[in-house]
Amino acid sequence: EDNDLEDIDSLLERIEDPGLAPQSQGGIIADSRPLLYVEHRNLNPENELKRYFGARAVLGDQRPRQRQRQYVRSMWLTAPKNTWPRYSKTGITMQLLDTRRGVQHFTFEHHREYQQVQFKFLDAVESMDPNNIVLLLQMNPYHVDSLLQLSDVCRMQEDQEMARDLIERALYSLECAFHPVFSLTSGACRLDYRRPENRAFFLALFKHLMFLEKRGCPRTALEFCKLILSLDPENDPLCVLLLIDFLSLRAREYTFLTRLFQEWESHRNLSQLPNFAFSVPLAYFFLSQQEERPELERSQARERAARLIQLALIMFPSVLMPLLDHCSVQPDARVTSHPFFGLNAQISQSPALNQLTSLYVGRTHALWKDPAVMAWLEPHVHEVLRMVEAGDALVQEAEHKRKIRYQSAPRNIYRHIILSEMKEATAALPLEVTSQPVMGFDPLPPLDSIVSYTRPERTSHPSNESTLSLFFRSLLPNFNLQGDIRHDGDDEAGAAQDLNQGVNRLMAAMRDMLANIQFQEPPRDDNPEGDGDWD
């Protein structure tokens, strides 16, 4: 039944877009498609898990239960769960701003009621008490920023399942607000990260793909990475270009990685990023090992891999020794004693370059542990040493580039390192980043943000409040017994009216508080004497 449904889906995709060429047997993206084309079926991790383990092992006993399940909307980014609260409109919508050169620019918008919830959320964050966010989510179960922030709290408490579930719920809430013509797959829809309303979508997608990669679904994670990049490929606010090579290698999508390098190198200088400098030749090496490919293609891949890995070692010599150390490989005496790859290469590089190399080594070293990869790398290391000793012009040119470039990292790289939580890279972050508070719902916001609404200034409470009023405000921060300050005199009738209104507000607030209190039933002891057996 599942295979039939998948076949129907693939047929529908071909009917909808007859210009697309079918996928090849190797799962390599066809060249006729746009580079950042996203396939709907690759956004579902269950499809990837079914390819690995079979449909029966993945689905288990889900089918009988689905017949009794209430009707929910079919979504692309995540599957709604029975355990989630019932969805109702949250006050988020998406608007089409304009269309330029075939590219559509959208933005999320917050309606007035959602803005009020957002203000309460900011108050809860400032209180530094996660329980306040929990209370807010009980009243507004699909408030996106609360879901993102609470997910980080759960992850820190090692509750990975709940953390992942909250991110999926945030994606569901945002997808329900999509504009009718907003497309996930076309690669021609843009969102501006400078608008605070759009950031939650970027961050939820990024956190979701990190969970997918840890879950063992690198192909699905790669598809989400392409989706994030397609939303703003020029600015790349989360700098997923530092991650997409790793996911491509993990998913064995070598042709996609090499195609990305070929098409973007001329205008994005991808070779000046250590991750592309080393991962692209590694992808060519893996392509050269695929026996089903024609010998001519394999030979060309070997030549490109050799040329590019030598250029990478010349441009970024500080990568080699930490990479070998992470792989538990002891290099020979010539490499160890040579100053080009030695400790001086790491000490002399700028802090910004150190962050990039540390991030790459910490994230990708497991892909280099293969003995075949190390056997391929070794002769190229010795060839680079020969070029260094011969005074090759390429070596001098690379040293000059390193001194001029990488003076300081842009803000999106810092944002990526913080979100990735790679300890090797976070340890190298500068003080101006580590000294400021970083919130999970909006890490390092852009300095040129486009703000559509602002948080109102908090009114100062009168200093002559009674002890009773202060006590109730400690329980209910929004409670105000005295009400608005009167400007028409302190006559007895006005005072009595104020007192009456204050009491009514107090009773209403107490009713709300009591209505939200949930008492946990004590565990029932049906067999108080016990028989000594475990259930």
pLDDT digit string (tens) for 437-476?
888 899 999 999 999 999 887 655 544 555 555 555 555 5
Residue 302, Cβ density class (10 Å: 0-12 exposed, 13-18 middle, ≥19 buried): middle
3-state secondary structure 492-521: HHHHHHHHHHHHHHHHHHHHHHHHHCCCCC
Task: Kindly report which listed range (25-29, 57-61, 376-380, 520-524) carries the lowest average pLDDT score.
Answer: 25-29
Q: 531 versus 394: which is more confidently predicted?
A: 394
User: CB within 8 A of 7, min separation 6: which ones?
Assistant: none
Could you tell me which CATH class the domain 46-54+76-233 is placed in?
mainly alpha
Q: What is the mean pLDDT of residues 120-125?
A: 94
| Phi-psi group of 15: left, alpha or beta (phi > 0 → left; psi -120 to 50 → alpha; rest → beta) | alpha
In single-letter form, the type of residue at position 43 comes to L
Contact 408, 331 (CB under 8 A): no
Q: What is the mean pLDDT of residues 33-45?
A: 91
Contact 469, 481 (CB under 8 A): yes
Q: What percent of the chain has pLDDT over 90?
A: 64
In single-letter form, the type of residue at position 512 comes to D
**Looking at residue 471, what is its pLDDT?**
54
Task: Kindly report which listed range (50-54, 68-72, 411-415) carries the lowest average pLDDT score.
Answer: 68-72
Q: Where are the alpha helices (DSSP H) in 338-389?
A: 343-347, 351-364, 371-389
Residue 375, Cβ density class (10 Å: 0-12 exposed, 13-18 middle, ≥19 buried): exposed
Rounded CA separation 287/254 (Å): 7
Residue 53, pLDDT > 90, answer no
**Looking at residue 499, what is its pLDDT?**
54
Q: What is the mean pLDDT of residues 365-392?
A: 96
Q: What is the mean pLDDT of residues 376-405?
A: 94
Residue 484, pLDDT > 70, answer no
Contact 415, 443 (CB under 8 A): yes
pTM: 0.79
Q: 495 versus 222: which is more confidently predicted?
A: 222
3-state secondary structure 278-312: HHHHHHHHHHHCCCCCCHHHHHHHHHHHHHHHHHH
Tokens representing 535 are 């259930």
For 243-287, what is each residue's pLDDT tens digit?
999 999 999 999 999 999 999 999 999 999 999 999 999 999 999
Q: Helix count (H) and strand count (E) of the chain?
A: 25, 3
Task: Give me the DSSP letters along 437-490.
Answer: ---TTSSS--TT---S--PPPPPPPPTT--HHHHHHHHH-TT--SS-SPP-S--
CA-wise closest residue to 427 among 487, 512, 355, 498? 355
Rounded CA separation 109/404 (Å): 42
Q: What is the mean pLDDT of residues 126-155?
A: 95
- Beta pairing class for 189-191 and 103-110: parallel
Rounded CA separation 464/445 (Å): 39
Tokens representing 242 are 């530092």
Task: Kindly report which listed range (46-60, 300-314, 477-491) carries the lowest average pLDDT score.
Answer: 477-491
For 63-116, what is each residue's pLDDT tens digit?
544 444 444 566 889 989 999 999 998 999 999 999 999 999 999 999 999 999
Contact 249, 262 (CB under 8 A): no
For 345-355, what is each residue's pLDDT tens digit?
888 889 999 99
For the chain, domain boundaries: 46-54+76-233, 239-435+443-451
For 276-331, what is each residue's pLDDT tens digit?
999 999 999 999 999 999 999 999 999 999 999 999 999 999 999 999 999 999 99
CA-wise closest residue to 406 among 345, 447, 357, 342? 357
**Looking at residue 498, what is its pLDDT?**
54
Count CB neighbours of 26 within 10 A. Answer: 12
Rounded CA separation 503/512 (Å): 14
Residue 503, pLDDT > 80, answer no
User: CB within 8 A of 185, min separation 6: which ones?
Assistant: 37, 38, 39, 40
Count Cα neighbours of 171 within 13 Å in the Cβ-side half-sphere.
26
What's the mean per-residue pLDDT of the chain? 84
